[in-house]
């Protein structure tokens, strides 16, 4: 565990490929995420277009791409894997479908038990959140103690996500492998500038 977590970038939920392309290119040219996650919320056709666009932009920069929950779309569009939004439940099935080389991540809210189960079932990373107050997430915020415990006890990488602020970023950095940034920047007029203020 280092003091410098890697950037894990999320697209806006329900994004349109045509509008997102230039913004995504600019953000990824200025910052080097280790992973790009395509959020759900759009029709399957639009998600397919988004998958092709994201793959093209990300793979040109050696960045892995995962998509929320859609195992078939991940396969069809040559993505690197999936991010499962319902915890450990589907980890085994996704692994079986996608094979050993694919990335399978699991969002586990603030549940230590769910995170451990996902790790045991073969998840490549576990994501906890929201770490701040957020209307976008169900359930209680994931506390700093959860990340401290995880980083000491569990080898599977951990992602902090949801309502990230500069203050939370500095607290979570020593105990997180990845920090997921998404809505925090896409809601701003200039996402790249917003990220440069947050990710210093």
Average pLDDT over residues 2-12: 89
User: What CA–CA distance (Å, rounded) separates 68 from 182?
Assistant: 13
At residue 137, the pLDDT reads 86
pLDDT exceeds cutoff 50 at 1: no
At residue 167, the pLDDT reads 96
Residue pLDDT, tens place only, 34-89: 999 999 988 999 999 999 999 999 999 999 999 999 999 999 999 999 999 999 99
User: What CA–CA distance (Å, rounded) separates 41 from 20?
Assistant: 14
pLDDT exceeds cutoff 50 at 14: yes
Q: What is the pTM of this model?
A: 0.96
What are the tokens at 87?
């915890």
The Cα-based distances of 94 to 5, 90, 189 in angstroms read: 26, 6, 36
User: What CA–CA distance (Å, rounded) separates 104 from 35?
Assistant: 12
Percent of the chain with pLDDT over 90: 91
Residue pLDDT, tens place only, 109-135: 999 999 999 999 999 999 999 999 988
Average pLDDT over residues 90-114: 97
Show the domains of the chain with their CATH numbers.
6-198 (3.20.20.70)
């Amino acid at each position: 565990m280092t003091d410098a977590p890697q950037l894990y970038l999320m697209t806006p939920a329900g994004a349109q490929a045509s509008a997102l392309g230039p913004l995504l290119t600019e953000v990824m040219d200025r910052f080097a995420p280790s992973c790009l996650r395509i959020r759900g919320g759009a029709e399957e056709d639009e998600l397919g277009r988004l998958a092709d666009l994201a793959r093209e932009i990300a793979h040109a920069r050696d960045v892995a791409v995962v998509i929320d929950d859609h195992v078939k779309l991940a396969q069809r569009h040559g993505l690197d894997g999936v991010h499962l939004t319902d915890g450990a439940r589907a980890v085994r099935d996704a692994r079986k479908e996608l094979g050993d080389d694919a990335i399978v991540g699991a969002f586990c809210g603030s549940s230590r038990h769910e995170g451990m189960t996902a790790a045991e079932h073969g998840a490549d990373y576990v994501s906890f959140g929201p770490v701040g107050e957020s209307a976008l997430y169900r359930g209680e915020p994931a506390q700093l103690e959860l990340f401290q415990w995880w980083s000491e006890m569990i080898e599977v990488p951990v992602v902090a996500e949801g309502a990230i602020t500069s203050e939370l970023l500095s607290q979570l950095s020593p105990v997180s492998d990845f920090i997921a940034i998404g809505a925090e920047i896409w809601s701003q007029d200039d996402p790249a500038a917003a990220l440069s203020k947050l990710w210093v």
